[in-house]
Structure 1
Amino acid sequence: MVLRLPVHADFHAWTDLRAESRDFLTPWEPGWSRDHLTRRSFTNRVYWAQRSVTGGTALPLFLERSGDGALLGAITLDNIRRGPSMSGVLGYWIGERYKRQGYMREAIEGVVQHAFHRMDLSRIEAACLPENTPSRRLLESCGFKYEGVAQSYLQINGRWRTHVLYASLRLDRRGRTEAG
């Protein structure tokens, strides 16, 4: 698998994958705007990705399967903070037909390695809904540790939702922890 920046030529593959995975994704994501799947919206997304990487504020990447170039999903290290924090927030989604095949685990491990060893970050945070057991297990299997609960953390599918918080530390002496 290759992790790479989105490009304008990805529009049809991205739109098709998002549209066919809509029912699978919407319980876990912020609400989609009416123009979510339009070319204009996608073009704005590509330009945002380029600006974010140039400015060092985010690393938005597409997951592409090496063998056939299929778009699998996306992963973003966002809200990158420098100075005393040296941290970022991880978010991700995968197309329904590619779920539970190890692609996102590989992507998370690659982004975390890059963040710690190339970007010199020291903390990667992630959050998910408490009932999203597959995402919680995925984060835990990638070395993220449960840290607690954030009330009304994000609007998901139109409602403020409480999330469970996880983090991966470059120098982690906490040992293994399980979610409460």
Structure 2
Amino acid sequence: MIPALLGRRRPAFALRSERLLLRPPQIEDFEPWALLRRESEAFLAPWEPARTPDHLSLKAFRERVRWAARCIADGRATPLFLLRQSDGALLGAATLDNIRRGPAMCASLGYWIGAPHARQGYMTEAVGALRDHAFGPLGLSRIEAACLPENAASRAVLERCGFKYEGVAQSYLQIAGRWRTHVLYAALRADRRGRVGEAGEGAAFG
């Protein structure tokens, strides 16, 4: 059973949705994070890059925590863990990465949810909270996201949160050791485009 995490240490930065607390990873999260990643390995492997052998080590997690703190302090990224407010259970993670200022005012979105918590609306809440933070306090104009064409659950999350299909990127990322084509989505702070999926109807994926 994943232990309760809320109340251990007050995070310097946090977002909330109806059921979730989104805050940076802390070293105390290591055991529930490693457990959730192990439990979800088969569920996540088809959608993620291959992991290094020490991915689940305490040493690697310490570096993850330090990296998250540096990124938030520098304004380069917003890496957040998703915790259920009712019991503090760790559910997954979401990150606004590669934040670009100046003419772009843009960021990239990535996320994962543990297998026991999938298809319960948690990621839609998390992405919605990050979108509102990006277009509000961060002052960004555009958020980009990419996923495999067959990842219907991820595409549904993006579309529910106002992201719209923009095209296809060939050999975009290495997933499970192979270069894979991805579909591209974006959300705009001031969006005057048509319906979700309008541009993507009839698209073919190699």
SS at match of 1:162: strand
1:39-78 deviations in whole A, cap 9, x for unaligned? 0111110000001001111000000000110000000000
Counterpart for residue 156 of structure 1: 175
Counterpart for residue 172 of structure 1: 191
Distance in 2, matches of 1:146 and 1:173, equals: 14
Distance in 2, matches of 1:47 and 1:39, equals: 12
Distance in 2, matches of 1:51 and 1:159, equals: 31
Picking from 100, 120, 131, the partner of 2:139 is 120
Counterpart for residue 107 of structure 2: 88
Give identity over the alignment, percent.
63
User: How much does 1:137 deviate?
Assistant: 1.2
- Give the number of equivalent residue pairs: 180
Counterpart for residue 69 of structure 2: 50
Distance in 2, matches of 1:155 and 1:27, equals: 11
Counterpart for residue 156 of structure 2: 137
SS at match of 1:93: strand
The answer to whether residue 18 in structure 2 is matched with residue 18 in structure 1 is no
- Structure 1 regions of 5+ residues with no counterpart? none
Distance in 1, matches of 2:135 and 2:56, equals: 33
- Structure 2 regions of 5+ residues with no counterpart? 1-19, 202-206
What TM-score do you get using the length of structure 2 for normalisation?
0.86
Counterpart for residue 69 of structure 1: 88
Q: Which has the larger radius of gyration?
A: 2
Query: Which aligned segments of 4 or more residues in structure 1 are displaced greater than 4 angstroms?
Result: none
SS at match of 1:119: coil
Counterpart amino acid of 1:142?
C
